[in-house]
Amino acid sequence: MPRRTDVKPHQSQSEPTILDVARKARVSKSLVSMVIRGEDGVSAKNREAVRQAIEELNYRPNVIARSLVQRRTRMLGVMISDLRNPFFGDVVSGIQMRAADLGYRVLFNTGDRVPNLEEAAIESLLELRVDGLILAAPRVDDTIIERACRAVPVVVLNRDTSATCSDSVTNDNLAGASLAVEHCASLGHTRIAHIDGGTGAGANVRREGYLAAMQRLGLAANVLTVEGGFTENGGYQAARELLKQFPLPTAIFAANDVSAIGALKALEEAGLRTPGDVSVVGYDNTSLAALPQISLTSVQQFGADIGRLGMECIFERIEGRRSTPRHEVVAPTLVVRTSTGPAPVGAHGHR
Amino acid sequence: MPRRTDVKPHQSQSEPTILDVARKARVSKSLVSMVIRGEDGVSAKNREAVRQAIEELNYRPNVIARSLVQRRTRMLGVMISDLRNPFFGDVVSGIQMRAADLGYRVLFNTGDRVPNLEEAAIESLLELRVDGLILAAPRVDDTIIERACRAVPVVVLNRDTSATCSDSVTNDNLAGASLAVEHCASLGHTRIAHIDGGTGAGANVRREGYLAAMQRLGLAANVLTVEGGFTENGGYQAARELLKQFPLPTAIFAANDVSAIGALKALEEAGLRTPGDVSVVGYDNTSLAALPQISLTSVQQFGADIGRLGMECIFERIEGRRSTPRHEVVAPTLVVRTSTGPAPVGAHGHR
DNA sequence: ACTTCAAGCTGGAACGTTCCAAAGGACGCC
DNA sequence: GGCGTCCTTTGGAACGTTCCAGCTTGAAGT
């Protein structure tokens, strides 16, 4: 195959450095550095000369070089388990806003909910020497988290971890699940099924919350759980599974909004009315749930707050203001919409 | 306020370097470097010794230092105009996948649709010396884009730019708008209004496409445009504006899905049926449009493909395989769902 | 036995910053 | 005039890699 002769890399000229600026402004590189960093103790005359040289040369400080000598990057690594789930959009936006305030850059990454890929994503962030790591609902093993903690402050969002080294911000999944179940029960439902999140982060606690609430309400005999894996299709399949049951559940509590929407689709396809025949509750209260056409009753999780809190945890540790773990739990609330309603009157309980 | 004495930064010990590894394996740092980079020409014995020393020390290569000497970071900067819009989720995922294949990391950033913030976001990526820049529907001025081009290869997604230095990947907005309008017309609609994207990227071309199609179909007299700004609330407000018109439009072509959904909400609130009274078409065919409860007819834009193509453009230029601009246009298609239907029979056209 | 060669390995010079100790200059004071 | 003090400025040493030229060693070729 005819190979073109090696072409030089894109850069037409190598970019100007601090030395070029210094030469042009007729001062030392140190002085230029001071101006760039906004230190005082520089004469007005020289400051202006430097400023102008920078302008003329179109100089841009090299953050890489700075990071090397300072041994900090002012960058935060964020590993998001699922970029498509709008809940994480909220989380990210909370992180970003707070990070910008605090003068940090944010580097995103994802492993697409695959543990191995997530591990690689984390490793890759660590190689970049991020100053801190935020893991949003990671699916990796606790040992991976502990390993990361040895290098850098870590905060885990929305996932319970036995790793003692990291901070965490979660919502109270137990309470949230209770809210959902109790809401259904208060509407007269007794056969309340759960579409769970499988191995996903937080899924187990929500499942436990569901079980505990059912028990507390004396509905232990009606417990019914199908795996939905936190995805729309998972929720869809799970709901189809539930529809094979007899008697049918009259309410479904899905472990997140996305899977709840999958369930809604399955119900509609089966010709069942929501909430007439089956009520559905989601979790996360994403923008999806709020869409008037969907109007999904959902447990509100305040993703942006979670992101913001996570950012604050990291910041405290980076600044060295704290070295003991902090575990923040935000309380969920229930947002009632039109996907839930009274249990159908003809529903013959089988208790 | 009682101030704690300055605590040392988090790092308990500074991390091991290549030199520590070299000492432990009793070889030179150069040899270690070779092993890390997977070069051959290293004896099996030493390779193994190094591998083991790395393991024992828990050594992690410092990408920062490497980038400095190599003067390339293998990082790509991506500036996304709107993280909340699921269309960009598709784009991002296309970029990420291809980037991972090609061995690049991706650094995201956003300016939240505010030109000044977007400019700062771009600048911040350039300071990090990313090897290339992908701008997804940026709202910044062309001069900013040109400035960025001087430093690094740039590709602009989904936005027409007069900047001649950058590559671009767009979908054919003109054709897409035609598809939407013609679809409505073929269903018998004559009063077809447009909710446009205001100053957003690509908005003007879609508007032109709308105007041209209306003209072509002899409906120039019925042209009606309201600004929706590409957001859900914008679409909602715009639709309320449209509802003040008499006679009412029987079809609305919104410049993107998100604003179309806002419009749907306004219609529903006004007690109008979709598509019975008013048909609605969106643009982007995001996952939102596909939700069965929304079922929005929409112009499909293949966000993942656009991201992937953008990534490929950048890669070609980084590798120096090309230095002339490439402008890729992907053809949109129409996905018909249930938000569009025949024009209402009683609709008295005023032509 | 002498040269040639390749394979394996090595130390030093970059890369573009920041940080620090110290130099220089201006000024006032004794 | 010498000295201390303050403000401003400076050069050199890091930071942790990669790259390169050159060193050793031993085997093959003549």
CATH code where residue B49 lies: 1.10.260.40
Let me know whether A183 and A148 are in one domain.
no
Angle at CA of residue B58, ends B56 and B59, nearest 5°: 115
What was the pLDDT predicted at B23?
Answer: 95
- Using CA atoms, how far residue A267 sits from A185, A277, A286, A344, in Å, is 20, 9, 20, 15
Is B233 in the same domain as B90? Answer: no
Mean pLDDT across chain B, nearest whole number? 90
Query: In the complex, which nucleotide's C1' lies nearest to the CA atom of residue A70?
Result: C18
Q: Is residue A34 part of a domain?
A: yes
**Of B194, B208, B170, nearest to B301 (Cα)?**
B170
> pLDDT band at A348, cuts 50/70/90?
very low
Contact (CB, 8 A) for B154 and B326: no
For residue A261, the distance in angstroms to the closest alpha carbon of chain B comes to: 8
Q: Are residues A182 and A282 in the same domain?
A: yes
User: Comparing A104-108, B26-30, B274-278, which segment has the lowest mean pLDDT?
Assistant: A104-108
Residue A2 predicted with pLDDT over 70: no
Mutate to test the interface with B, among A8, A291, A313 (most CBs of B within 10 A): A291
For chain B positions 216-275, those within 8 Å of chain A (CB to CB) are 232, 261, 264-265, 268-269
The model's confidence at residue A278, banded by pLDDT at 50, 70 and 90, is very high
Nearest CB to B84: which of A89, A293, A318?
A: A89
Give tens-digit pLDDT for B127-152: 999 999 999 999 999 999 999 999 99
Nucleotide nearest to B47 (CA to C1'): C8
Q: What is the pLDDT of residue B349?
A: 44
Short-list A274, A252, A156, CA closest to A196: A252
- Could you give the CA distance from residue A247 to residue A262 in angstroms, rounded to a whole number? 21
> What is the reported pLDDT for A164?
83
- Contact yes or no for B105 and A105 at CB 8 A: no
A68 touches chain B (CB under 8 A): yes
CB atoms under 10 Å from CB of B299, counted, come to 30
Question: How big is the CA angle at A341 (ends A336 and A346), to the nearest 5 degrees?
Answer: 165
Strands (E), chain B: 75-80, 105-110, 132-136, 154-157, 167-171, 192-196, 225-227, 251-254, 279-284, 297-300, 327-330, 333-335
A350 within a domain of the structure (yes/no) = no
- pLDDT band of B10, cuts 50, 70, 90: very low
Measured to protein CB atoms, the chain D nucleotides within 7 Å are 7-12, 14-21
Q: Is the predicted pLDDT of residue A284 greater than 80, yes or no?
A: yes
Residue numbers of B between 315 and 344 with CB closer than 8 Å to A = 317-318, 320-321, 323
Which residue out of B105, B117, B286 would a mutagenesis test of the A interface target, given it has the greatest number of A Cβ atoms within 10 Å? Answer: B105
A244 pLDDT exceeds 50? yes
Instruction: Report yes or no on B94 lying in a domain.
Output: yes
Residue A201 has pLDDT above 50, yes or no: yes
Statement to judge: residues B80 and B156 lie in one domain:
yes
pLDDT score for A113: 83
Over residues B190-198, mean pLDDT: 95
DSSP secondary structure letter of residue B200? S
- Range with the lowest mean pLDDT among A95-109, A134-148, A245-259? A95-109
pLDDT for position A84? 78
Closest residue to D6 by CA to C1' distance? A41
Residue-number span of the structural domain to which B116 is assigned: 72-170+303-329
pLDDT over 80 at B237, yes or no: yes
Q: Measured between beta carbons, which residues in chain A are less than 8 angstroms from residue B261?
A: 291, 293
Strand, helix or coil for residue B41:
coil
Q: What is the pLDDT, as a whole number, of residue B124?
A: 87
Q: Check pLDDT > 70 for residue B321.
A: yes
Q: Is residue B122 part of a domain?
A: yes
Nearest residue, CB atoms, A128 vs list B64, B86, B93: B64
Rounded to an integer, the average pLDDT of B120-125 is 90
Nucleotide nearest to B15 in CA–C1' terms: D16
Query: Over 70: is that where the pLDDT of B38 sits?
Result: yes
Q: Report the pLDDT averaged over residues B60-83.
A: 93
Considering the domain architecture, whether residues A248 and A315 belong to the same structural domain is answered as no
Q: Are residues A119 and A159 in the same domain?
A: yes
The CATH number of residue B232's host domain is 3.40.50.2300
Q: Is residue B116 part of a domain?
A: yes
Nearest residue on chain B to A290, alpha-carbon basis? B265
Residues A193 and A165 in one domain: no
In a domain? residue B87:
yes
Mean pLDDT of B47-68: 96
pLDDT at position B350 is 44
Dist CA A76 CA A106 (whole Å): 5
**Minimum CA–CA partner of A125 in chain B:** B105
The pLDDT-based confidence of B223 (bands split at 50, 70, 90) is very high
pLDDT greater than 60 at residue A125: yes
Question: How many domains does one find in chain B?
Answer: 3
Mean pLDDT of B176-195: 97
Q: Do A294 and B291 touch (CB under 8 A)?
A: yes
The number of beta carbons lying within 10 Å of the beta carbon of residue B234 is 25
Check whether residue B180 and residue B164 sit in a common domain: no
Does A199 fall in a domain? yes
**Cα–Cα distance, A346 to A248 (Å, whole number):** 12
Are B229 and B323 in a shared domain?
no
Please compute the mean of the pLDDT values over residues B291-311 and round it to a whole number.
Answer: 94
On whether residue B37 sits in a domain, the answer given is yes
B253 CA vs D24 C1’ separation (Å): 77
DSSP secondary structure, A170-187, as one string: EE-HHHHHHHHHHHHHHT
Tell me, yes or no, whether B96 and B138 share the same domain.
yes
Give the pLDDT score at B13.
60
Instruction: Mark yes or no for CB contact B129/A265 under 8 Å.
Output: no
Judgement on whether residues A201 and A163 belong to the same structural domain of the protein: no
Q: Are residues A104 and A211 part of one domain?
A: no
Q: What whole-number distance in Å separates Cα of residue A140 and Cα of residue A78?
A: 14
